[in-house]
A = this chain, B = another copy of it.
Amino acid sequence: MAIHGTSETPARFPRATASMVASRASVSVATVSLVASGKTDGRVSADTVIRVQQAIADLHYVVNRVASSLATGSSNFVILVAPDISNPFFARVIAGVREALGSSYQLLLSVTDSGQMPQLESVRELLAFRPAGLLVDAPSARLMQSLVVDEPIVFLDAPGADAGAPAVNLDVVRGAEALAVHLAERGHRTVAYLDSVTAASTFALRRRAFLAKAQECGMSPIETPRARSTIDVGSAATEFAKVWPAWQRAGVTAVVCATDTHAYGVLQVAHSLGVRVPEQLAVSGFDDLPFSAMSHPSLTTVELPARKLGRAAADLLVALIEGRAPDSGPPLMPSRLIIRDSTGGFVNGAA
């Protein structure tokens, strides 16, 4: 803070400790601790408080979270473990989590790409940092069983979770079924499903829900080899280019993609192959990413409340951490079908 000479002192971090602050303010470290954590309710006199605060400011003292955490046995950060951070859908989940955490807890992310170290080991290591809690996206079944712990842990996107497990899920089924109904009403008879390789069980759920309902509605669903890579436009595009001839022969008039990004790839390839969407081919996805409203044609999709999911998960986690009874909010975030132009076609003369 002192301005000496011409230039402001750059805010160096001399790693001030509480005892350094203490001696500068001529008090004990205990007092410093009290002041630093704001527990001065009648335990520290007003002028001592300002003396200590001054010293803290002068020295740029920041309490050492490591020591603090060791002493109290608790911490102020939460780790979100996820296999794929870069998914735009996931960005919204993160936003929701941060909203719910507010300023009480810091959020740290850990990418645990499936493969690598078994997820379980990786989580174990993370736990060694003694976070206040853990949010685990798309947990493996093995992980969920093994982690029935006292640790505050919340799973998200874990359709396989036991009823008792602290998990927050998306109700993809509703949306997937609505989509099947929608396509059936449009008169489609043969529909294809373009899946993702990602192991996340949420994808398996989307597929199963759609395919089942499609059958029920009297359509012939075609399951397909999965797109090569993770959730990425390019892989879906190449995959679609490869299977389209066969699909065409099979009479496919609609393709449902596991995620909107895949659908973008399909739209582009369809365009370059001269396949008209939606007249010749209806295309749809899941997620309702921002671009889906802007694409040409705009994309019919199942909206998944990503942000809400994140918020609900974090709320639950905080409740767990603080020992409060879970808010018992709806454990299933509802999905919603958004009908746009990409399925606007009329096939077989149906409505």
Contacts and interface: CB of A to CB of B under 8 A. Distances in A.
A291 B305 CA distance: 26
Interface string A168-207: 0000000000000000000000000000000000000000
Contact of A234 (B91, B98, B151, B290): B290
B296 A124 contact: no
B106 A125 contact: yes
Contacts of A12: 148-149
A126 to B, nearest CB: 8
Chain A residues touching B, range: 35 or more
A176 B10 CA distance: 34
B91 A86 contact: yes
A269 interface: yes
Contacts of A234: 290-291, 293-294
Interface stretch (A27-35, A48-56, A108-116): A108-116
Contacts of A10: 145-146, 148
Contact of A70 (B66, B232, B264, B291): B66
A98 B116 CA distance: 11
Contact of A296 (B107, B120, B272): B272
Interface of A: 10-13, 15, 62-67, 69-70, 75, 77, 79, 85-88, 90-91, 94, 98, 106-111, 120, 124-130, 145-151, 232-235, 237-238, 264-265, 268-269, 271-272, 290-291, 293-296
23 contacts: A10-B145, A10-B146, A11-B120, A12-B148, A13-B124, A13-B147, A13-B151, A64-B70, A64-B128, A65-B128, A66-B70, A66-B75, A79-B108, A85-B91, A94-B111, A98-B111, A107-B110, A108-B109, A235-B290, A237-B294, A264-B291, A265-B294, A272-B296
